[in-house]
Chains A and B, each alone.
Chain A
Amino acid sequence: MTSGPYNYSYIFKYIIIGDMGVGKSCLLHQFTDKKFMADCPHTIGVEFGTRIIEVAGQKIKLQIWDTAGQERFRAVTRSYYRGAAGALMVYDITRRSTYNHLSSWLTDTRNLTNPSTVIFLIGNKSDLDGQRDVTYEEAKQFADENGLMFVEASAKTGQNVEEAFLETAKKIYQSIQDGRLDLNAAESGVQHKPASPGRPLAAPPASRDNCTC
């Protein structure tokens, strides 16, 4: 009954945060459409910012919200954070300022999400290594200090993009398995979809209905 490709048992909500112009939207589109946005004109379709992945045999629908990164909107973009299971914090390795703002983004994220929210640091535009302004080591150190996962990626080439999203999903799934994430809380950012409708909770008749004999 649940073998169809579009059936999934979980929905994870991600947000992508970071300064304007670090390539948040490009990362998103690289991940969902496997395309670099500049290459082809694109408008957000019906299946907006979603992709179904598989973690440990479970199909998971990722729902990714892009956010506005401008400084002046910082105060009002808090509602984005509500109920996010994963947060991808992005900076531009060619622009130091975007790296410097990470701490404030991190503060926001920590304040506005629940403790089990997985935060992943991404240094974007790794293809522009010649213009690098922030070294890998420096960022790695920052990530380690704050308990973040970290990867340098390129939305243009697609390098490490998948990994970033998948690793985040794995971590979230793990915390579900560990019981750290309460599925019933609306803020968890995770929706569980029972694979088989009418599960044993129902009275015997239900099981009789499921019987194939």
Chain B
Amino acid sequence: MLFGPNLQRSYKYMSFASKMPSLRMDQIDLKCKNGCDYYGNPQWQGYCSKCHREQMTRQRRAEKASSNPSATLPKPEPKKPERGVKQVSHSSFSKFEEKRLRQSETSKKANLLKFSVFKKSSTEEHEHSEKRAHEFKIPAMVNEGMKRDFRTRFPALPAHVDRDSRAFVHSFIMDVIKCANVMTVDELSERVQRQYQRFMKHMDTSQHFVGVDSDTKELLMDFVEKHAMTYLHELPSVVFSPNGTDDERADRAMSERIQQLSWVGERHLECKLDRNQHACRQLVYKAISELLGMDSAASPGGKLARVRRCCRHVLALCGAPASADDLLPALIFTVLKANPPRLVSNINFVTRFCNAQRLMTGEGGYYFTNLCCAVSFIENLTAESLNMDKKEFDCYMSMPASIGGSAWAAALSLCGATREAEEQREAALRVLQDAREVQARAQALHTDALAFQEQIAKKVEDVLAKTPLEIKPRREIPRLRRSKTADASPLIDLEPIPTHNPPRSLATDTSEPPPPLLNFDVVSADNPQISRTIVENQVPTEEKDSIEDQIHETDSGEICSKTCEPPVAAQPTEPKLNILGFEVIEKPSTSVPPRNLEQTFELKQASSLELLTPSPLGFTPFDSRSIDELMTPDEFGSDSLAPGLSNINYDIDLSDLSGDNSVAEDAPKEAKDPFSPDGLKTTFDPFAPQTSAVAYKEVLDKFDEFTLTDTKPNQSFDPFDVIHRSDPFSPVLTVNMEHKPNDPFSPEQREASSILDDSDSPTSACLLPSPLQPQTSNKP
């Protein structure tokens, strides 16, 4: 915003522009009166087709039931019955409307002056507005706005207060519009004042307002005034610079007068203003801004509020001991510098239509009175009132308006510029701060991300540390190796395996020369049930039978071995095995045999698989073979192996592997393999060549411990399933492996597998040879 001549000019233009609505058709005027967004048509009384039809039906209904609602407060509706009568003269109205439209299109600014005259002189205009008043309907938006405003201002008040207030505003508006054309402005002002009093009385007497205290009533009064007047203010020539007054002309005269007096400075008015002081300039600038804002406020209350704010700035301008003696000159100065648009119209509007009691008392009233004084002072300003020479005064007055007062105008425009700059600076600062905030947040995010990264890395390390890679391939390969190196039949493998509790047996062996019964007791107490259950659960019934047959056989065999035990046990070279064998031999009397059988089966199976799979081939198909295939015994059996054998094998294999895998350590190892192929190799390699008997034994011991700990095969299924996803143990693989040409170990493998297959047969391989073979295997 710029001040001085520019500003004045722009505001003058604005004042013209804002007067235009009386001439120009706004978009709003063309639209349906009902406030729906369609365009209205003069032939339909300014409604759109839909609203007009509704209107007509409502009208007809109202005519039928001609009983008027008898409310204490007239509602906007009661007007309806009259509408039919008004329609008779409707055509003339529309004609006029058209005429007006045409005029407004052709005539621009130049016609403005004429129009105000025309408005006054034309009887047709008078008629029109009369008609218009009757056909008038307050847009729904007004009501809605009131509702909203009421809710925000008086949330505590009951709904009927809201209804009453709104009803009153409606009746108020209708009344004013009706009277506007038949009354002079003063009469209308009187009427409006009476309306205010009426509402005051209504509030005092109505039971709806019983709980409302007097301060709230004042606020309600303001509320009513605000909304009624805001709406009426928008209507051209009804309450704001109304017809029959000189307000518009006075506005122009005043504006010109102020421009002429632009040379009047602080020294003429004897006020203590210093335009060189920044604070002073700022205050003047603010006061002027508020004063200019008065025109944009619609209600008298709003205008008063602007004036009040303006005068507060002016008071601050006057310095600490503020008195009316200082206030008035400073205010006059402010008005002169501001040259507010439509000043006279605004003042008259407030004087006439503001609630008189408010105007007479209160701060707003006081300041407004001061403003009125200032304006009338400017109007009647003479050389005497400025305490200056008449000649000088005339000289000043005769010079072109644009010359005078340039100093203050410059100061103020400077003020405006600095203010703008300050605003810009503030905005820039805000942006800067925002940027800083963003930056800080980005920093925080960065550190967070780093911390997170470290955390994750640490966790990964921890997990890696917890789960060392080495152990993994241990499971089968060593055995395979061993079987190879031992150059013995796979049964050799089986023999160490029965030492599924080798430490214990050893311990017993060393501590006390084994009374076989004792050993047997321990072992039998441990396992028989489990082995039983395993057999029962997993082995198909047919197979069971066969197994049992075998058991019987083994029984006999064991018995046989039992007989020849003592010498075996006495042998120092292979104490464990002997003991084991001893145990086994003892068992047949009780339930041990099945257990033994079971164990041997398991072990054998495990060994068989190990022999089959873990060979170098095992790594190649690591990817694909899912255990699911393994898990379904039917498919498996039917596909690859002879049903009887395969089933047994399968079952045993499951339990064994599951036992193997169920150990906590194993799972991560297995899982880790795919991640580190290197690890696989390394782990694989060292085992293969080294397989010294001791190392191997350790491994085996561990392994057996696992089987021991894993007492429940059912539970072990799941881990098994997961872990062997990637394992090459599927029997199908074994079949494949045999055909693989690349495999360096293939011949041996084949041998082994074939041997295993043999050993798988429970009758011959498992039971009988097992006690025998360990000796052979251990001997080397």
Contacts and interface: CB of A to CB of B under 8 A. Distances in A.
Contacts of A48: 362-363, 366
B209 A76 contact: no
Given A68-B373, A197-B203, A13 B360 contact: yes
Judged by DSSP, the binding face of A is: loop
B207 A198 contact: yes
Contacts of B217: 197
B369 A80 contact: yes
Contacts of A43: 312, 315-316, 320, 322
B210 A206 contact: yes
A49 B366 contact: yes
Given A79-B369, A197-B214, A210-B210, A66 B320 contact: no
B210 A198 contact: yes
| Chain B interface extent, by class | 35 or more
Contacts of B312: 43-44
B206 interface: yes
A66 B324 contact: yes
A45 to B, nearest CB: 9
Contacts of B316: 43
Judged by DSSP, the binding face of B is: helix
A76 B373 contact: yes
A65 B321 contact: no
B372 interface: yes
Contacts of B369: 65, 79-80, 82
A65 B756 CA distance: 120
A21 to B, nearest CB: 7
Most chain A CB atoms below 10 A, which of B206, B374, B384? B206
B325 A202 contact: no
Contacts of B363: 44, 46, 48-49
A67 B376 CA distance: 15
A42 B360 contact: no
B361 A63 contact: yes
A76 B324 contact: no
A42 B322 contact: yes
Interface string B317-341: 0001111110111000000000000
A182 to B, nearest CB: 14
Contacts of B374: 76
Contact of B361 (A11, A70, A73): A11
A111 interface: no
B320 to A, nearest CB: 4
Given A38-B321, A43-B322, A198-B204, A83 B210 contact: no
Interface in A7-42: 7, 11, 13, 20-21, 24-26, 37-38, 41-42
A199 B315 CA distance: 42
A191 B377 CA distance: 30
Most chain B CB atoms below 10 A, which of A20, A77, A191, A197? A197
Contact of A73 (B193, B360, B377): B377
A199 B325 contact: no
A213 interface: no
27 contacts: A13-B360, A25-B321, A25-B323, A43-B315, A43-B320, A43-B322, A46-B363, A48-B362, A66-B324, A68-B324, A68-B325, A69-B324, A69-B325, A72-B384, A75-B377, A76-B377, A76-B380, A79-B376, A80-B369, A194-B214, A197-B211, A199-B204, A201-B205, A202-B205, A202-B210, A205-B207, A206-B207
Interface of A: 1, 7, 11, 13, 20-21, 24-26, 37-38, 41-44, 46, 48-49, 63, 65-70, 72-73, 75-77, 79-80, 82-83, 186, 189, 191, 193-194, 197-199, 201-203, 205-206, 209-210
5 tightest Cβ-Cβ pairs between the two chains A and B: A25-B323, A41-B320, A198-B210, A68-B328, A48-B363
